[in-house]
Chain A
Amino acid sequence: MIRTEQLSRHFDDVIALDATNIHIKEQQTTVIMGGSGSGKTTLLRLLAGLECPTSGHIWYGKDDLNGMSQKSLYQLRARMGMVFQYSALLNSLSVYDNVAFPLVEHTQLDKSVIHTMVTMKLEQVGLRGFENLMPSQLSGGMAKRVAFARALAMDPEVVFFDEPTSGLDPISAGVIASLIGDITKRTRMTSIVVTHDVHAGLDIADHVILLWQGKVIAEGTSDIIRNSDDERVQQFIQGRPDGPIPFSRSETSYIEDLLHKPGTVRIS
């Protein structure tokens, strides 16, 4: 359904994503994992059309996101939803108005129908009865669930999740993860989840993509990833500090730099 072809994104000298080819299947939960700075959020923003690639293509069926007009892109986005890392609820609107927002903007539905639909979406995420609260009155987990309800409002075909469990307590994180898994199966939508939460990610994933330094280093079902022979994959999923994925980003050690720097005082 969604496919990237030699997709790259550079920020000046930094290569965030390097000639990536991935394939996201319909009606499945694809989890993109990787450490901080591995390029997973960049990949998600590229797939959502929020960033332009430096090179390569993103195919939605037969349509290339790259050459798409703004009108076509907005038509495509009407079939998408996104849950942002910090929820991105509109601060001036109540919970009800946030969830109703896409429906009010894009449909001619009667107010009573919109009310029923908003109530249904809030019920799906377990927040019916909280319609009148403002975003500033919500906890992190509740805000994520409201954002999820808003993303579901238009019954999208694809929903993007950017770090849906980050900054949440284990129970809230578990609730969000199970909601993603359950709703994806029930509504037969396609979910693309970016996370570094290994347990939640592997639990809900139909397909996992593991990134490191802007490249795909492993791909497959959760079991394939768990049983991978790749040391980098094992280091990541076990959360080991030592291994092929270095802690330091510098090419050389600080001690070497000091010893070889001209003019450095040497102790003999």
Chain B
Amino acid sequence: MSQTNTTQNSMLTFFGSLGRWFLRTLESMGDAAVLSITSLTHLFAKPWQGKHIVIQLYALGVGSFVIIAITGAFTGMVLSLQGYYTLAKFGSESLLGSGVALAIIRELGPVLGAFMMVGRAGSSITAEIGIMRVTEQLDALQMMAINPKARVILPRIIAMIIALPILVTMFDIIGLVAGYIVGVELLGVNGGAFIGEMIAQVTPMDLYAGWVKAIGFGILIGVICTYMGYRATPTTEGVAKATTQAVVAGSVGVLVLDYILTSFFL
């Protein structure tokens, strides 16, 4: 009898914790949405934040180019290498170009590009805003009659939305070039067949889908990372925790959103 009670209590505790976690997550999502929307309402309001958007675009976009280029190059090379030996078993090496292109443009470009942006730029956004909170710089902006949502949050979200599709396009191009070099120059696949199959199989819809995903991921990463920093507990530990949570939530969010968007485009 007492063992049954203990099991019931454990179950209740487990479901209670799960329910509380779910409610907290839901509350945070609502709070993040409200923060982002109220920040984005300042997009066309005076004073225009164009200069700050460009500064953030440079910091987040240009600053992330090298890591995106390296990831894109090695992704294309590995895909080409793996694809070649798999297709060679069926004597279909000529399809290598289309396989590499479709994998990169539809999936790997947007998803891996977004992962790199969460890790490199997203974490720095959260840490920077969190430190501004700890050192009272956000309060100082308020006291100087400057809205931190317009000055700090808005430029970073917009920069992320603009930067990610551009970086994903660069990832795609570099990945395809690297895949071509490995497939054609190192493994001996016919160059004409590689490019011909690629052009034949990749449709404009694949390109649009990649860009739509990149924009979606840009919004998601921008919203999550700015929110986590803005609402960070104003302590050293709080900023560290917020940064970790931003990277985890951003990465998981990218995967979930990728599935949702892919199901729309197929």
Chain B's interface size range is 10 to 19
A75-B140 in contact given A86-B135, A88-B135 (Cβ < 8 Å): no
- For B145, give its contact among A50, A75, A86, A90 (CB under 8 Å): A75
Q: Are A105's CB and B146's CB within 8 A?
A: yes
Chain B, residue nearest A90 (CB): B137
State in angstroms the CA–CA spacing of A77 and B139 once bound together.
12
Give every chain B residue within 8 A of A84 (Cβ-Cβ): 136, 139-140
| Chain B contacts with A in 118-146, Cβ cutoff 8 A | 131, 135-137, 139-140, 142-146
CA distance A90 to B144 in the complex (A): 12
B145: A residues at CB distance < 8 A: 74-75, 77-78, 102, 105-106
Question: A48 interface residue, CB < 8 Å from B?
Answer: yes
Q: Are B142 and A77 in contact (CB under 8 A)?
A: yes
* B233 contacts A by Cβ under 8 Å: no
Q: Taking the complex as formed, is B91 at the interface, i.e. its CB lies under 8 A from any CB of chain A?
A: no
Q: B47: CB under 8 A from chain A?
A: yes
- Contact size class for A? 20 to 34
Q: Which residues of A contact B137 (CB under 8 A)?
A: 88-91
How close is B152's CB to chain A, nearest CB, in angstroms? 11
A49 to B47, CA, bound (A): 22
Contact code string A87-107 (vs B, CB < 8 Å = 1, else 0): 011110000000001100110
B46 smallest CB distance to A (angstroms): 12
List of B residues within 8 angstroms of A101 by Cβ? 144
Residue A80 CB within 8 A of the other chain: yes
Residues of A near B64 (CB, < 8 A) are none
Contact (Cβ within 8 A) A85 B143: no
Specify which chain A residues have a CB less than 8 angstroms from the CB of B140 in the assembled complex.
82, 84, 88-90
Within 8 A of B (CB), among A63-83: 70, 74-75, 77-78, 80-82
- In angstroms, Cα B137 to Cα A85, docked, is 11
Contact between A88 and B147, CB atoms less than 8 A apart = no
Contacts of B143 in A (CB 8 A): 48, 50, 77, 80-82, 160
> How near does chain A come to B129, taking the closest CB pair, in angstroms?
12
**Residues on the B chain within 8 Å of A102, using CB:** 144-145
Chain B contacts of A91 at CB under 8 A?
A: 131, 135, 137
Give CA–CA (A90, B137) in the complex, Å.
6
Q: How far is the CA of A50 from the CA of B137 in the complex (A)?
A: 12
Q: Given A86-B135, A91-B137, do A50 and B142 touch, yes or no (CB 8 Å)?
A: yes
Give complex CA distance A90, B147 in Å: 15
Closest to B138 in A: A88
A117–B139 CA distance with the chains assembled, in angstroms:
24
Tell me, in angstroms, the Cα distance from A105 to B131 when the chains sit together.
22
Chain A's nearest CB lies how many Å from the CB of B235? 13
Residues of B within 8 A of A74 (CB): 145, 147
Closest to A73 in B: B145
Residues of A within 8 A of B146 (CB): 105
Contact of B144 among A70, A85, A105 (CB under 8 A): A105
A85 CA / B131 CA spacing, docked (Å):
15
CA distance A74 to B144 in the complex (A): 8
Residue of B nearest to A135 (CB): B135
B141 to chain A: closest residue by CB: A90
Show 20 residue pairs from A and B whose CB-CB distance is below 8 angstroms, ordered by the A residue. Answer: A50-B139, A50-B142, A77-B142, A77-B143, A80-B143, A81-B143, A82-B139, A82-B140, A84-B136, A86-B135, A86-B136, A89-B137, A89-B140, A91-B131, A91-B137, A101-B144, A102-B144, A105-B47, A105-B145, A150-B144
Chain B interfacial positions (CB closer than 8 Å to A): 47, 131, 135-137, 139-140, 142-147
